[in-house]
Structure formats: structure tokens, C-alpha cells
């Protein structure tokens, strides 16, 4: 066994996997990764099953150190500046940390959450079939809470397998698709149109329970109290103040506000990655189209292993530089050594 030590980490970072299902009838929410494609891509690179427990890293920087042996990891989801001992590491690639080496990560760019998968997974005790952290319910392994600096994860020793990159479809800049309902009849047509025609922003007060939206006030037809009923990932409820809240994996299992629409499953990860303050729109589609999109998304997850490619060192450095968006005289494009990433401590201060 080796250890992966959390040398530095920001808030909203925790061990997550595919989530725990089957106990929503007892009020236990599934939790699990905010962006399932990011989780699956990282695991695929690390040679794991797609929904193996990995580290979900929030918007701030982080640093991870291998101890008592080498550790092979892979990074996917929101891209970041990353390096190991001065060697730049591109997103969507695997990398092996020699004993004592530290992987330093900068801020998330073009998203909110990145996933660090570890070859062989993380040792821990699943509850209800999952190691995902749900701090309020005291669940999650090896720590039933978000990760903190100094935490240690027991992991497998690196296999020495060749490093790989994964060739994912390019990011989509399109409206977040929703299916209207289940309580869209609690809203007049002009309010539904206002919801669909407006630009929205994610509030900075959002968390793993709900993303609060900033935009116009959505008015109810019959008041904002309904008799509580069940919620799903992506339920868009409209409380009394008219500011919609999109429920995400740590949501309450039931809620008493009318739900105007639901984000389609295929767009949940893309939605979760929208960073606070970024504008976006919704678009309503029919149930048949939503389910066809889900089948396509499931197909993408299933065929991720076909998208793995060997890494060519030269390609890797160019890719890392391109992603780091470091265009300037100080950087020699073919010498990654001249590109400085923030230190672990710098990475935790706001940009």
C-alpha cells in the first residue's frame, strides 16, 4: 500500500463516487459526484471502474503527496494548472507520483469541480454501497466529512502502467436542457416563458445541496407552499422569493416548493460545472428527446475506454501550456520548465 496525503485543499472537496441509492425513502439523499462524466473519465484513465470513489476537488487549488511508495493518479473534470516537481501535467491525463512527489493543482478553469482518481481506488468502508461523503448524515469514507489538509488516503502502490490521456468530446456551450414539471402548472404561461427566456447566473451561495439562481423573480399562481413531495437531482424548485434553486446530489429527498422543471440527466454534470457568476440559459425539450439524450450520454460513458490514447511527451507539454492559457514572452512554448504554477499555498488564495 501507498498513501496519498492531502497537503493542501480548499472547501467543497470530498471523496465522491456514483452515490448511494435505495434509501431515499428514509430521507437519505444519494450524494455522489457533481459531474459523473468527469468522475468516469478520471477513473477510466486510472484503470478503474467508472464510478469508483475519487477525490472531487472544488474550485480552489489543492496539492497531493505520495508517501510510502509511488501512486498513480488521473485528473479530469474542470481543467487546472497542474505540475509535479516542475513537470506540467495536462488535464485528462494520468500521471505517476514517485514516493515523496507532490501534485500541485491551481484553480479550476472553465468549471467548478475536478476529479482526481487513484489507480486501484481509495481504501475505505462503503455504507449503502457507497463511500460518497454526506457530512450531515455522518456518511463517507475514509472521512465522513470534506477533506482537510493533513488527511491521508490509503491507496494501492502504482502499477507502473504507461500514462494515458483521454480524448473527450469538446465542451458544449449550449443552453441547459430541462423537462417541464412536475409542478409547472403552479406557474402561469408568462412566468414559464420568463424562466425559459431569461439569462441566469449561479449564486455564490450555492453548495452541494442546491444551486441558487440569480435572475428575474418567478411568480407562483397559487403561492409557494405545496405539500412536500419527492425530489430528484436537477429538480428546479421555486421558493417564496421567486429565485429558483436547482437541487444537486446532497439535496433534501423531499421539498415543499413547486418544481417548475427538471434538468435532464445528460446535462446535470455540465450544469454542475457552471461557475458562480457565469450566465446561462435553459431550454425545454420533450421527454422522448431527454431520454434519447440520456441513452447517448450512457453510450459515451460506456465507450470511454475507447477514447484512451498513449501520451507523447511533446504533445503533453504543448497541451498543458495551451490549457494553462499562458501566452507571454516569459514562456518558452517548448520548455515546460519555464512555466510556473502557483505554490500550494498560493493556490488557496482567491485569484
Partner 1 sequence: MAATLAPPRLLLSGDSAITVEFSRTIDDAANQRVLALDRTLAREPVAGVTETVPTYRSLLVHYDPLLIDFAALSEKLAVLGQLPVPASAKTRRWRIPVVYGGEYGIDLEDVAKTLNTTPDDIVARHVAGDYRVAMIGFTPGWSYLSGLQRSLHLPRRHNPRLLTPAGTISIGGVQTGVQCLAGPSGWHLLGQTAVRTYQLHRDPIFLLEPGDRVTFSAVDAKTFAEQDRAAERGEIVAELMAS
Whole-number minimum distance, CB 234 to partner 1, in Å? 6
CB closer to partner 1, 248 vs 316: 248
Q: Is 180 in the site for partner 1 (CB under 8 A)?
A: yes
The Cα–Cα gap between 324 and 315 comes to: 14
Q: How distant, in Å, are the alpha carbons of 31, 66, 80 from that of 22?
A: 12, 36, 35
Residue 303 is a binding residue for partner 1 (CB under 8 A): no
User: From CA 146, how far away is CA 243, in angstroms rounded?
Assistant: 28
Nearer residue to partner 1 within complex by CB, 134 or 275: 134
* Contact assessment for residue 217 and residue 233, using Cβ atoms and an 8 Å cutoff: no
Cβ of 297: how many Cβ atoms within 10 Å? 18
CA 74/CA 110 separation, integer angstroms: 18
Verify binding: residue 270, partner 1, rule CB under 8 A: no
Q: Is residue 240 a contact point for partner 1 (CB under 8 A)?
A: no
Report the 10 Å Cβ neighbour count for 75.
Answer: 29
Choosing from 167, 197, 229, 335, the residue that interacts with partner 1 (CB under 8 A) is: 229
> DSSP character for 204?
T
Is 154 among the residues that bind partner 1 (CB under 8 A)? Answer: no
The CA distance from 213 to 123, in Å, is 37
Residue 196 as a binder of partner 1 (CB under 8 A): the answer is no
Footprint of partner 1 on 99-128 (CB under 8 A): 127
Compute the least distance from the CB of residue 260 to partner 1, in Å: 12
Q: Return the number of the residue (23 or 318) whose C-beta is nearest partner 1.
A: 23
296 binds partner 1 (CB under 8 A): no
- Out of 149, 226, 300, 308, name the contact with partner 1 by CB under 8 A: 226
241: left (phi over 0), alpha (psi -120 to 50) or beta: alpha
CB closer to partner 1 out of 154 and 253: 253
The radius of gyration of the chain from alpha carbons, rounded to an integer in Å, stands at 21
Q: Can you give the binding site for partner 1, defined by CB under 8 A?
A: 21-28, 127, 136-139, 179-183, 226-235, 252-255, 259, 262-265, 287-288, 290-291, 293-295, 298
Amino acid at each position: 500500500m501507498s498513501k496519498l496525503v492531502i497537503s493542501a485543499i480548499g472547501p467543497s472537496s470530498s471523496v465522491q463516487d456514483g452515490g448511494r441509492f435505495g434509501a431515499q425513502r428514509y430521507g437519505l439523499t444519494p450524494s455522489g459526484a457533481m459531474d459523473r462524466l468527469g468522475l468516469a473519465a478520471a477513473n477510466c484513465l486510472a484503470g478503474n471502474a467508472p464510478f469508483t470513489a475519487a477525490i472531487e476537488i472544488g474550485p480552489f487549488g489543492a496539492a497531493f503527496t505520495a508517501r510510502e511508495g509511488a501512486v498513480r493518479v488521473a485528473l479530469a473534470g474542470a481543467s487546472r494548472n497542474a505540475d509535479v516537481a516542475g513537470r506540467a501535467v495536462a488535464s485528462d491525463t494520468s500521471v505517476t507520483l514517485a514516493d515523496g512527489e507532490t501534485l500541485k493543482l491551481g484553480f479550476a478553469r472553465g468549471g467548478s469541480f475536478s476529479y482526481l482518481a487513484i489507480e486501484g481506488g481509495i481504501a475505505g468502508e462503503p455504507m449503502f454501497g457507497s463511500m460518497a461523503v454526506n457530512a450531515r448524515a455522518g456518511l463517507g469514507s475514509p472521512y465522513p466529512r470534506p477533506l482537510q489538509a493533513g488527511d491521508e488516503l490509503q491507496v494501492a502502490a502504482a502499477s507502473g502502467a504507461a500514462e494515458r490521456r483521454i480524448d473527450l468530446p469538446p465542451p458544449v456551450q449550449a443552453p441547459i436542457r430541462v423537462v417541464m414539471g412536475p409542478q409547472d402548472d403552479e406557474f402561469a404561461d408568462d412566468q414559464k416563458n420568463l424562466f425559459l427566456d431569461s439569462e441566469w447566473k449561479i449564486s455564490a451561495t450555492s453548495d452541494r445541496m442546491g444551486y441558487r439562481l440569480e435572475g428575474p423573480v418567478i411568480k407562483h399562481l397559487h403561492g409557494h407552499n405545496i405539500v412536500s413531495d419527492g425530489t430528484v437531482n436537477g429538480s428546479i424548485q421555486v421558493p417564496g422569493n421567486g429565485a429558483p434553486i436547482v437541487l444537486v446530489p446532497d439535496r433534501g429527498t423531499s421539498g415543499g416548493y413547486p418544481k417548475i422543471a427538471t434538468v435532464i440527466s445528460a446535462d446535470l454534470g455540465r450544469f454542475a460545472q457552471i461557475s458562480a457568476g457565469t450566465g446561462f440559459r435553459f431550454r425545454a425539450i420533450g421527454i422522448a428527446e431527454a431520454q434519447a439524450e440520456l441513452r447517448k450520454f450512457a453510450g459515451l460513458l460506456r465507450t470511454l475506454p475507447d477514447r484512451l490514447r498513449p501520451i507523447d511527451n511533446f504533445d503533453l507539454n504543448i497541451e498543458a501550456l495551451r490549457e494553462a492559457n499562458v501566452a507571454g514572452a516569459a514562456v518558452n512554448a517548448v520548455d515546460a520548465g519555464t512555466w510556473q504554477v502557483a505554490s500550494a499555498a498560493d493556490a488557496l488564495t482567491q485569484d
